[in-house]
Structure 1
């Protein structure tokens, strides 16, 4: 514990140094068109971001997240000679995003000149004190301290558009910040997104709800963060050449109880398919399960990436919420996703995945038909023509650069390709511009 704390403070120092080197003004070098793209990073007291990193071991019920602070939130390398693979934790997306924002080419120190204002607030990390810390049962207060600061410190920045031009990143599903105000006794989560004070702010979350206009889901961070174009292209070539000897695979836990649910159906069908001697399509095996119970795969990508490289289809059933990080791990491995709910991806990641052409890269099988009507997943997949499977995989290869978060300080060649961060920024700017236009018309 003491060693983790030492390293956490060390990484805290490195990130503080990166922030201090931001300079008073960062502008385009002339090669980037910054029209309608200027962003002002709001300077917040460190209690809203960096101080939260120093408290990384103070939530025993949650766990110690100190080891995942390394490399500005990418986590520790999977092995000493790795240049692209890290033990990345989802909770670090806010830190990863903040670090990448410092490299954004169209930053302005003048908020009046900005088209959008980024709040470097680590909302998911700050939520821990309400969920596991000494302020448990006061979750309705999450965010009020931030709002008070925004009103008192240079209030003109907020009042110019009443927050409509502000955006932030939340490294948890929106449901974790959506506890109704005044719930007694408190349920799971905080009430940040239920506060009227923040209704105008665009929020980038790992999973959004269907109705709030201000929420937009962005990809979960995977463990792959290439620093240059050569390593990125090398991985895509490996994915393209990988032999798909397994038709379908599922990496995850659950499904062991007697209660009917999609994970139980998957487990039963997959286990019964083991040993089938008549397999079409050139597969050696119909179905494989990688047991990731109790979080054993969460920070160990080798456990699931190799099987995903060998599988044609990756089954992506919902868990506690509809979405999964495994969706993006599978895409990264060239494994065609099979969804059982529209909310798992089709209605979530419209900026990064082809929302209007979802069938070009994914398969959808309603979970109700599997769980209650006996539809066989493997039969559905077996009937898909090989020519279509080939086209879907080609589409997956095109999507890989769009769903990964490249490493900070990456090479210029890799920066020419937009990654998950770049696409998220583009989407946020368009969303804010559209909202400001609507507000102007309504006045």
Structure 2
């Protein structure tokens, strides 16, 4: 059931009242708690509510008959409801609400400026992935090529000097999904005679070629995309709760060698998930399988986090797309991720995970070797020395702060540790600065 109308109204009102940055002197006082704001000023572009807040009013499946109802997960500014009443850090978080949560965290950013001409970057609070439902489910014909055109027109017509200053090179936005789902050719969506292929053409619009887009999964080649971690269900509000979790991860007894939490693998067609399930069935004592078919685990972290805490390795085979939220759940649990293709992580999260040191915290087994050459995942992992496993887990635990999104309004102590949001903003600012310097040199 959707949450009461008042819940959505309160959420919208809170965001509306806090959309405008505080006075400059208040920002500077806040920034003194973090660091100097030189080269870090961000202007939040004011967008009309249809580009963000009104989208939340259309959260139920009654507005889009073939879409899921995401109303229950808009609470707590996109974190969802708590897993249980006594919880202070764990929520039933839906990763598709990253755009809403990111918007809320941006309002706490210490270096906001109301003057776009003084900004080093401009944030567009457009809920792009949520808005895509309108173009996926909103009509009887293929309108995928229309996704983003209204925003492009607005940016050109409303205060055009903001956009024209750098033609979008200083702008960035968040796209809570795989870039592949927003890269349909424009020619696929121009009328009733074209097939309805999954996805929209948002990233194919030339208007946004210069904009930095933070996605959950990027493609290998477009320079404008950069992938950032999926939302997990852990969002601590203070340092004590964060450190309490780290202690639990460190002392957890790893009684299971390997774990796979996911769905699929039941097809007779050879694929890596099928191979993994067969291995788990044959080695049930040392391999645990958590069946997450039909999304039953998506909003219930207890189903997979407890088994992950008791497993040494967490298998991360690709699914419909190369990346998985489960990768970040396993890091959070200190369960060493096992990848089967480089696009699952190594070619993705360069700001948050050390691209050149994956062997220090993960294992790579090519899926072709597993499916077609008979390589046993169990045997590969079982042969890794215990001392090496311990070192990998220690390295993994060191990385946990970088992939966690702390709760909005968190304590000052916790803010001394850079979380996934902080690192994403830092990377974005550096990327935009480099782009503008290149353009200036040219």
Tell whether the structures are fold-level matches, with TM greater than 0.5: yes
Matches within 5 A, 1:253-268: 253-268=263-278
Quick one: structure 1 residues 135 and 80, their matched pair in 2 at CA, closer, same or farther if it must change by over 3 Å?
Answer: farther
Aligned partner of 1:240 in structure 2 is: 250
Aligned partner of 1:318 in structure 2 is: 318
Aligned residues of 1:87 and 1:223 also touching (Cα < 8 A): yes
TM-fit CA distance, 1:64: 0.9
Quick one: structure 1 residues 299 and 382, their matched pair in 2 at CA, closer, same or farther if it must change by over 3 Å?
Answer: same
Aligned residues of 1:7 and 1:67 also touching (Cα < 8 A): no
Quick one: structure 1 residues 369 and 168, their matched pair in 2 at CA, closer, same or farther if it must change by over 3 Å?
Answer: same
- Look up the SS of the partner of 1:9 in the other structure: helix
- Confirm or deny that 1:91 pairs with 2:96: yes
- Look up the SS of the partner of 1:120 in the other structure: coil
- Confirm or deny that 1:192 pairs with 2:192: no
Matches within 5 A, 1:17-416: 17-19=17-19, 22-25=21-24, 27-29=27-29, 30-31=32-33, 32-57=35-60, 58-134=63-139, 137-183=142-188, 184-274=194-284, 285-416=285-416
Q: 1:254-286 deviations in whole A, cap 9, x for unaligned?
A: 000100000000000110112xxxxxxxxxx31
TM-fit CA distance, 1:2: 5.9
What residue ranges of structure 2 are gaps of 5+ in the alignment? 189-193
Aligned residues of 1:7 and 1:66 also touching (Cα < 8 A): no
What's the TM-score once normalised by structure 2's chain length? 0.95
Aligned partner of 1:429 in structure 2 is: 429
Quick one: structure 1 residues 320 and 4, their matched pair in 2 at CA, closer, same or farther if it must change by over 3 Å?
Answer: farther
- Look up the SS of the partner of 1:427 in the other structure: helix
TM-fit CA distance, 1:24: 4.9
Q: CA RMSD in A?
A: 1.3
Quick one: structure 1 residues 254 and 221, their matched pair in 2 at CA, closer, same or farther if it must change by over 3 Å?
Answer: same
Q: 1:296-345 deviations in whole A, cap 9, x for unaligned?
A: 00000000000000000000000000000000001000000000010000
What's the TM-score once normalised by structure 1's chain length? 0.95
TM-fit CA distance, 1:132: 1.6
Instruction: Tell me the distance in 1 between the aligned counterparts of 2:3 and 2:83.
Output: 19
Aligned residues of 1:8 and 1:67 also touching (Cα < 8 A): no
TM-fit CA distance, 1:7: 3.1
Q: 1:188-208 deviations in whole A, cap 9, x for unaligned?
A: 101010001110000000000
Instruction: Tell me the distance in 2 between the aligned counterparts of 1:9 and 1:295.
Output: 28
Quick one: structure 1 residues 424 and 266, their matched pair in 2 at CA, closer, same or farther if it must change by over 3 Å?
Answer: same
Q: 1:327-381 deviations in whole A, cap 9, x for unaligned?
A: 0001000000000010000000010001111100000000000000000001000
Instruction: Tell me the distance in 2 between the aligned counterparts of 1:438 and 1:83.
Output: 45
Instruction: Tell me the distance in 1 between the aligned counterparts of 2:405 and 2:92.
Output: 13
Quick one: structure 1 residues 136 and 400, their matched pair in 2 at CA, closer, same or farther if it must change by over 3 Å?
Answer: farther
Quick one: structure 1 residues 19 and 112, their matched pair in 2 at CA, closer, same or farther if it must change by over 3 Å?
Answer: closer
- Look up the SS of the partner of 1:182 in the other structure: helix
What residue ranges of structure 1 are gaps of 5+ in the alignment? 275-284
Instruction: Tell me the distance in 1 between the aligned counterparts of 2:78 and 2:141.
Output: 26
Aligned residues of 1:5 and 1:66 also touching (Cα < 8 A): no
- Look up the SS of the partner of 1:19 in the other structure: coil
Q: 1:11-32 deviations in whole A, cap 9, x for unaligned?
A: 3333334436x43546232342
Instruction: Tell me the distance in 2 between the aligned counterparts of 1:205 and 1:440.
Output: 27
TM-fit CA distance, 1:239: 0.3
TM-fit CA distance, 1:388: 0.8
Aligned residues of 1:28 and 1:105 also touching (Cα < 8 A): yes
